[in-house]
């Protein structure tokens, strides 16, 4: 895990896909790459440049329309944001969904010019985990990153940093799920085609820790990825210290639809 952490913390200096002319000329400092027209914008960039958000900005050419250091647009506390997620999952499992009707109204109003998500999710790409539906959340409410095995990579960190530091998400839920194919394949350690095996080193620490039981390894993986996220992101760790965000690990049971917390 230490090796992974080191690679994640230094990833913004090693990301190979960034074109040379977009990468920063001096020790990866984002500030030096962008014209200084807006002092408040520079303030945010100063805060963000230490983290892997640098990779996101330089690779994608993202412009921040809202330059404040931490917008915290949601009025919810981190605990209340987590409660809102779990309340939504209760509506989902008891068949009292409300988000769908709200979505249709939102689309009719056509007023989605900005997003104000109160929560962020790191979930597996598995098609049986429809995140917005699982938490009964309408358009614009949750900031979702998905990758097989819900693993923490530099790109995932960058996305979640953007969610927390710019959009003001108050809780980040790292959620594994039942019968996860990525964890199962890591346990089996068989030869697989293409680049699928690139997932395995990320998940292997959980298998080493929990053994070959799929559910135990999946839950261990969610906790390990949450811990990695806490440590690897300088942006998020400072928000954690200030009590502006919390990171929790969870597990989604496909058969019942119940999402439960692991921490």
Nearer to Zn ion, 180 or 217 (CB): 180
Could you give the CA distance from residue 237 to residue 240 in angstroms, rounded to a whole number?
A: 5
Among 124, 185, 228, 259, binds Zn ion (CB under 5 A): 124
Q: How far is the CB of 149 from Zn ion (least distance, A)?
A: 6
Residue 245 has φ and ψ, to the nearest 5°, of -150, 155
SS3 201: helix
The span from the CA of 58 to the CA of 249, in Å, is 30
- Rounded to whole angstroms, how far apart are CA atoms 37 and 173? 36
Residue 259 in 3-state DSSP?
A: strand
Number of residues that bind Zn ion (CB under 5 A): 4
What minimum distance in Å lies between the beta carbon of 128 and Zn ion?
A: 8
Binding flag, residue 131, Zn ion (CB under 5 A): no
Q: Is the dihedral of CA 228, 232, 235, 240 positive or negative?
A: positive
Shortest separation between residue 8's beta carbon and Zn ion, angstroms:
21
List the one residue from 84, 126, 136, 161 that touches Zn ion (CB under 5 A): 126
In this complex, which beta carbon is closest to Zn ion, that of residue 99 or of residue 124? 124
Alpha carbon distance 64, 68 (integer Å)? 9
Secondary element (H or E) of residue 136: none
**Residue choice 151, 180, 185, 206 for contact with Zn ion (CB under 5 A):** 180
Closest to Zn ion by CB, 149 or 154: 149
Contact by Cβ (8 Å): 56, 158: yes
Q: How far is the CB of 129 from Zn ion (least distance, A)?
A: 7
Kindly tell me which of 168 and 205 has the beta carbon lying closer to Zn ion.
Answer: 205
By CB under 5 A, which span of 72-80, 172-180, 187-195, 241-249 interacts with Zn ion? Answer: 172-180
Backbone angles phi, psi at 108, to 5 degrees: -65, -40
Of the pair 148, 229, the CB lying nearest Zn ion is at 148
129 or 229, CB closer to Zn ion? Answer: 129
Query: Quick one: which segment of 26-34, 134-142, 179-187, 191-199 binds Zn ion (CB under 5 A)?
Result: 179-187
Closest CB 229 distance from Zn ion, rounded Å: 17
Q: Could you say which residues in the range 137-166 bind Zn ion, by CB under 5 A? A: none
Handedness of CA 125, 256, 230, 5 (dihedral sign): negative
Tokens of 91: 């509506």
Report in angstroms how near the CB of residue 190 gets to Zn ion at its nearest.
Answer: 17
192's enclosing H/E stretch is none
Stretch that binds Zn ion, among 70-78, 110-118, 158-166, 181-189 (CB under 5 A): 181-189
Establish if 76 lies at the interface with Zn ion (CB under 5 A): no
Per residue, the 3-state secondary structure of 76-99, as one string, reads: CCHHHHHHHHHHHHHHHHCCCCCH
| Interface ranges with Zn ion (CB under 5 A) | 124, 126, 180, 182
């Amino acid at each position: 895990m230490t090796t992974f952490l080191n690679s994640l913390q230094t990833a913004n200096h090693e990301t190979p896909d960034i074109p040379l002319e977009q990468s920063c000329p001096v020790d990866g400092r984002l500030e030096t790459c962008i014209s200084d027209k807006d002092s408040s914008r520079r303030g945010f960039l100063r805060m963000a440049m230490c983290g892997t958000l640098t990779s996101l900005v330089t690779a994608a050419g993202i412009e921040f329309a809202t330059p404040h250091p931490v917008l915290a647009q949601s009025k919810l506390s981190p605990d209340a944001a987590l409660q809102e997620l779990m309340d939504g999952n209760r509506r989902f499992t008891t068949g009292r969904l409300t988000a769908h009707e709200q979505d249709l109204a939102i689309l009719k109003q056509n007023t989605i010019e900005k997003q104000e998500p109160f929560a962020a999710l790191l979930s597996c790409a598995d098609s049986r985990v429809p995140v917005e539906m699982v938490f009964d959340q309408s358009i614009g409410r949750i900031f979702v990153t998905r990758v097989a095995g819900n693993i923490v990579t530099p790109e995932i960190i960058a996305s979640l940093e953007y969610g927390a530091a710019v959009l003001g998400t108050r809780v980040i839920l790292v959620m594994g799920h039942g019968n996860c194919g990525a964890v199962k394949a890591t346990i089996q350690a068989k030869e697989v085609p293409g680049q699928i095996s690139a997932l395995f080193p990320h998940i292997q620490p959980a298998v080493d820790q929990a053994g070959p039981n799929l559910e135990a390894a999946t839950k261990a993986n969610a906790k390990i990825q949450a811990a990695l996220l806490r440590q690897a992101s300088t942006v998020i760790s400072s928000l954690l210290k200030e009590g502006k965000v919390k990171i929790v690990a969870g597990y989604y049971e496909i058969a019942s639809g119940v999402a439960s917390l692991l921490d």
